[in-house]
Structure 1
Amino acid sequence: MTRKAIIFHGTNGTPDVVWLPWLRAQLTNRDYTVTAPHYPTLNVEPIDTFLPKVLADHTFDADTVLIGHSGGAALLLAVLQHIDTAVAQAILVAGYATQPNTDDEPVLQDSYDWAAIRSHVRDIYFVNSRNDPYGCDDRQGRAMFDELGGTQIIRDDGHFGDHDQPYPTFDLIDRLID
């Protein structure tokens, strides 16, 4: 069995910010094959044209774990809806499915096929913070949880890393991954 993880950075991010490099190293040490693509047009390019590029860049199977932070977590909803197989786990950190603030959010779809998303993931986790400064908060996590089930984890930890919130490690995420 070849376990693999794909880690998606957030809006205006890179694979080398906050806890993403640390998680890559942790999973690599646990014999995962880890991919952390850089998508500069994430949440800039409309999801209708952006998503096909993402799907073409990756393969998904029952041994795949998907992790997304912020805009990368919102992207996971579209990925899960449109893949044709079920993955092992999806972890959405500071994720959202509706407009979290007044910013333009081209990563969001107009609507979601929640049954398709649920059928394409064995275990799904929503990790949100009550005090997220961008509105990617516990209410966003609860709305996704209400549609998909899974596990919701609520913290008081801001955006779980940002330009003004150093967050070099994230033990919780490492522990959630099988």
Structure 2
Amino acid sequence: MGRRAIIFHGTGAQPGWIWYPWLADRLRTRGYDVETPHHPGTNVEPVAELLPKVLAAHTFTEDTVLVGHSGGAALLLALLEHLEVTVAQAVLVAGYSTPPNDQPEPVLQGAYDWEAIRSHARELVFLNSVTDEFGCDADQGRALFDRLGGTLVVRDDGHFTSDTLELVDRLIP
């Protein structure tokens, strides 16, 4: 089994939206086997109910790269905490670990085992924006970086909803 990537969409989104298909195509041309699953329960169902379904739906190996956007990035925190393998890389775009606004956030756990999360990804990358209209901003990225280490990239790109996201493509080896 070779290099794999799984791209998790955000809250209320689907795999064909914004930069998800563009990144999937870019990674495929570089030899990745790419999954862009649709998990409509993301940030709708409590994470304790959603997580077992996500874990069962995918195969995770040491050659897997995980990319999550917004609610999908928050889902990656729970996923990484509960994996039984250390993946190659996790890229959290507009990620957060505490409620970013006044909307319900069932994708968030009440608490996290930060050491377990850190131990299940060889490389962690956080991409956040100072102008995120949903509150998944640079402060949220800094909080993740402070707990997990890795690399924090701060931009001025809103909620990262363009059709392409060159930086993420460049960040994945």
CA distance in 2, matches of 1:26, 1:48: 32
2:167 aligned partner: 172
Q: For each residue in 1:58-89, what CA deviation from the matched residue of structure 2 results, as whole angstroms up to 9, or x when unmatched? A: 11111000000000000000000000110000
1:112-148: CA deviation from partner (whole Å, max 9, x where unpaired): 0000000000000000000100100000000000000
Match of 2:7, as an amino acid?
I
Deviation at 1:41, TM superposition (A): 1.3
**Secondary structure in 2 matching 1:6:** strand
| Partner amino acid, structure 1, of 2:169 | D
SS in 2 for 1:144: helix
In the other structure, the counterpart of 1:126 is 126
Corresponding residue of 2:42 = 42
Give the secondary structure class of the aligned counterpart of 2:12. Answer: coil
| Cα deviation, residue 51, structure 1 | 0.3
Structure 2, unmatched stretches of 5+, are none
Determine the structure 1 residue equivalent to 2:112.
112
User: Is the counterpart of residue 31 in structure 1 residue 31 in structure 2?
Assistant: yes
Q: In structure 1, what is the equivalent of residue 158 of structure 2? A: 158
Q: Secondary structure at the match of 1:136?
A: coil
Q: Secondary structure at the match of 2:127?
A: strand
Give, as a single letter, the amino acid of the residue that structure 2 aligns with 1:156: D
| Alignment pair present for 1:70 and 2:70 | yes
Q: How many percent of aligned residue pairs carry the same amino acid?
A: 61
1: CA distance, partners of 2:61 / 2:120? 10
Structure 2 counterpart SS, 1:133: coil
Partner of 1:143: 143
Q: Output the CA distance in 2 between the equivalents of 1:39 and 1:60.
A: 17
SS at match of 1:105: coil
Deviation of 1:35 after TM superposition, in Å, equals: 0.3
Partner of 2:17: 17
Alpha-carbon distance, 1:103 to partner: 0.2
2 CA distance for matches of 1:67 and 1:9? 9
* Post-superposition offset of 1:39: 0.9
Measure, in 2, the Cα distance between the counterparts of 1:172 and 1:131.
17
Normalising by structure 2, what TM-score? 0.99
Name 1:89's counterpart in structure 2. Answer: 89
In 2, Cα distance between the equivalents of 1:9 and 1:33? Answer: 17
1:79-119 deviation digits (Å, cap 9, x = unpaired): 00000110000000000000000000000000000000000
